[in-house]
Amino acid sequence: MENQGLREEGTLRTTHRETHAVKRKPAPRAIADKARTLVESTSQSGPIIRQRLDLDRMKPALQKGVFYVAGNDGKAETGFLVFLPGQAPIFLQMRPKAPPACTLRMRVSNVLGEGGGSIFVASLDSVQHVLRLEDVWMWRGRAVFDAEPYSARRAYLKEFVEKFWIPDARLLGGIVTTIVNPAPLESGLAAPDSAHTLELFPEQAGRRRLWFEVGQKQPVAVKAPPTENAIYSDFTEKPEKPKVIQREAFAKPIENLPDIYDLFDDQGLPISRASVQRFVLSQELRAKKNDRTGTRVKVEWRQDFGGYEIIQVL
């Protein structure tokens, strides 16, 4: 579904980076209150995402536990991305004096609202125009933060990327959505990082993440997880840019994702997914009686939102 949400001042970015902050669209108060209530009921430890690392107090836990590390430039605001049934995604923070909850325009499936909703942890950088998805606290009505380890919760992010979401930076007002790609703790701490802070993601269920400023004395003699763990791979969809700007393909509609189609070549092999941006073309495609191969269309690679757009029915 296409959801109403963030808009920015000025024009959408193309090849340059915008320097002005995103102008947020406040969420309706009743919807924001429902999202906040859902977040508050998700974990027994309350809606606190992270805490500052106290090396003296936490060193024993770091030595015994398994952690992953990711950088944060310090400007991004960490909060919750909430998918309520039949509503636009809501981004909100639970800290006192936080900005009002805002709605986002994202191409996501209605199944995320099943069972009462889904809750992601996300960081929104309004200046750099980046929304980073980092963790899952509730998945389609099941509270998973207290029950499942981080690697299992990250598997839900993978499922979200592969089945229930189409990246579309233009629809999101120029916001680029990414997925955090944490590294094993030892290698992550040893690698140079331009981030302002580093965040440690505990593998253990129900544990808050820890953070410290880069340059601060770092934890030592920590236990590292197996290097072959699949959660280290970056599963953000990044289709390669084709050699030609436009091509022909067969488009098949995807259930629960209006105006999103799977693309196949003449041999029936999958190419990628594509969106429809124009209303008239959307109506024309929906009126077509799709056979087994789909509807013949012309598509164009759109670098501004990193995906294919259907531009003509053939």
Q: What is the pLDDT of residues 95-135, one digit of tens each?
A: 888 889 999 999 899 999 999 999 999 999 887 888 999 99
User: Chain centroid to CA 97: how far?
Assistant: 25
Range(s) of the domain holding residue 211:
7-232
CATH number of the domain encompassing residue 109: 3.30.470.30
Task: Choose from 54-68, 96-110, 285-299 the range with maximum mean pLDDT.
Answer: 96-110
**What CATH number has the domain bearing residue 307?**
2.40.50.140
Q: What is the pLDDT of residue 91?
A: 96
Q: How many domains does the chain have?
A: 2
Examine the pLDDT at 144 and tell me if it is beyond 80: yes
**Last residue of one domain, picked from the residues 232, 258, 292:** 232
217 or 283, higher pLDDT: 283
- CA neighbor of 107 nearest in space, from 92, 88, 125: 88
pLDDT of residue 60: 61
Q: Which residue has the higher pLDDT, 123 or 225?
A: 123
Give 1's pLDDT tier (boundaries 50, 70, 90): very low
Asked whether residue 241 is domain-assigned, the answer is no
Residue 196 lies in a domain: yes
> 3-state SS of the chain?
CECCCCEECCCCCCCCCCCCCEECCECCHHHHHHHHHHHHCCCCCCCCCEEECCHHHHHHHHHHCEEEEEEECCCCEEEEEEECCCCCCEEECCCCCCCCCEECCCEECHHHHHHHCEEEEEEEECCCCEEEEEEEEEECCEECCCCCCHHHHHHHHHHHHHHHEECCCCCCCCCEEEECCCEEHHHHHHCCCCCCEEEEEECCCCCCEEEEEECECCCCCCECCCCCCHHHCCCCCCCCCCCCCEEEEEEEEECCEEEEEEEECCCCCEEEEEECCCHHHHHHHHHCCCCCCCEEEEEEEECCCCEEEEEEEC
More confident call, 36 vs 184 = 36
pLDDT of residue 148: 93
Structural domain contains residue 79: yes
Lowest-confidence pick of 135-149, 165-179, 221-235: 221-235
Within-domain flag for 1: no
Of 284, 307, 310, 287, residue with least CA distance to 297: 310
Q: Taking 80 as the threshold, does the pLDDT of residue 16 lie above it?
A: no
pTM: 0.64
For residues 109 and 174, membership in a common domain is answered with yes
From 192, 208, 232, the end of a domain falls on: 232
In this structure, are 171 and 254 located in the same domain? no
